[in-house]
Chains A and B, each alone.
Chain A
Amino acid sequence: MPTLLKQGSRREVLAAGGLAALAALLAPRMAFADEKAVEAELKKLYGDKKFETGRIKLDVPQIAENGLVVPINVEIESPMTADDYVKAVHVFADGNPQPGVVSYRFTPECGKAAAATRMRLAQTQNIVCVAEMSNGKLYSTKSEVKVTIGGCGG
């Protein structure tokens, strides 16, 4: 089980602790993304286009006890027909080392623009979700997740 191994190795790191852990503590803090990084990513994707609100249901916990595994469920209102469907959905986290979380591409065959996965969050932060419709319209929403134990695994 990779998960167990991972925990094992973390324990090792802690046990072997001493200097290494101390060095890690003293090392400069890891660089985190911020709102600007998310904005930059959005600009890369969509330029200066405006986002509307609504249609996106972003389902994330308000409080995540374990930042290593945070469920995220998105659903976008759409008839999902050949000429009116959700083309893409991008999810960003503004407090992780890198802003990207996941990008989905849907097709009318999906019948419903909804998907669920699990993500790692390093700290309390905002989750930003944007949806691109087949007619080019853009929607966005965001939601804050409070993280008790960060999932950065430094």
Chain B
Amino acid sequence: MAANPTPRVRVPAKAAKGEMIEVKTLISHEMESGQRKDSAGKTIPRQIINKFTAAFNGKTVFEADWFAAISANPYQAFFFKAQESGEFTFTWKDDNGSEYSAKAKLAVA
């Protein structure tokens, strides 16, 4: 692992009630597939982020299970219907047991 995975999320700060918003997330991660070999011909063990979860005000609204086929620096976009103001919590789970998280506020007028 090169550096600590850094999540980046893009959520509109404000939305009208009932408006559909697109949430875009990105996290820096090698997503080592377990298929590559090092210069000595030894298989490099798999280490990917295997799960992405998005919760709004504590309730899970969207989940993605990622497999080895997901590209490095995984990107995930999804939609959310704004109903009330609150806060998103995004969680990424690494094969090595680590968890990375990010938060974003949404104000609904």
Is B one of A's binding partners?
yes
B residues 24-69 with Cβ under 8 Å of A?
Answer: 28-30, 33, 35-41, 56, 59-69
Given contacts A68-B71, A93-B69, A115-B78, whether A110 and B35 have CB atoms under 8 Å apart is no
Q: Would you call A104 and B71 a contact (CB within 8 A)?
A: no
Q: Would you call A153 and B33 a contact (CB within 8 A)?
A: yes
Subset of 6 A-B contacts with CB under 8 Å: A102-B64, A103-B65, A118-B74, A119-B70, A120-B71, A154-B36
The answer to whether A40 has its CB under 8 Å from any CB of chain B is no
Q: Would you call B37 and A98 a contact (CB within 8 A)?
A: no
Given contact pairs A1-B28, A119-B71, enumerate 19 new A-B contacts (beta carbons under 8 Å). Answer: A2-B72, A5-B2, A6-B30, A6-B72, A68-B72, A101-B67, A102-B70, A104-B65, A107-B61, A109-B81, A110-B61, A112-B81, A114-B78, A117-B71, A117-B74, A117-B76, A118-B70, A120-B33, A154-B37
The answer to whether A12 has its CB under 8 Å from any CB of chain B is yes
Q: Would you call B71 and A115 a contact (CB within 8 A)?
A: no
Given contacts A2-B2, A102-B70, whether A153 and B36 have CB atoms under 8 Å apart is yes
- Contacts of A105 on B, CB cut-off 8 Å? 62-64
Q: Would you call B71 and A100 a contact (CB within 8 A)?
A: no
- Contacts of B36 on A, CB cut-off 8 Å? 153-154
The answer to whether A23 has its CB under 8 Å from any CB of chain B is yes
Q: Would you call B77 and A117 a contact (CB within 8 A)?
A: yes
The answer to whether A135 has its CB under 8 Å from any CB of chain B is no
> In whole angstroms, what is the CA distance A117 to B76 when docked?
5
Given contacts A98-B67, A102-B70, whether A153 and B76 have CB atoms under 8 Å apart is no
Given contacts A24-B37, A120-B33, whether A110 and B79 have CB atoms under 8 Å apart is yes
The answer to whether A140 has its CB under 8 Å from any CB of chain B is no
> In whole angstroms, what is the CA distance A20 to B20 when docked?
52
Contact of B80 among A5, A68, A97, A109 (CB under 8 A): A109
A residues 76-90 with Cβ under 8 Å of B?
Answer: 80
Give me the 8 closest cross-chain CB pairs, A-B, nearest first. A111-B81, A100-B67, A103-B65, A112-B79, A118-B71, A116-B77, A105-B63, A109-B61
- Contacts of A6 on B, CB cut-off 8 Å? 30, 72
- Contacts of A123 on B, CB cut-off 8 Å? none
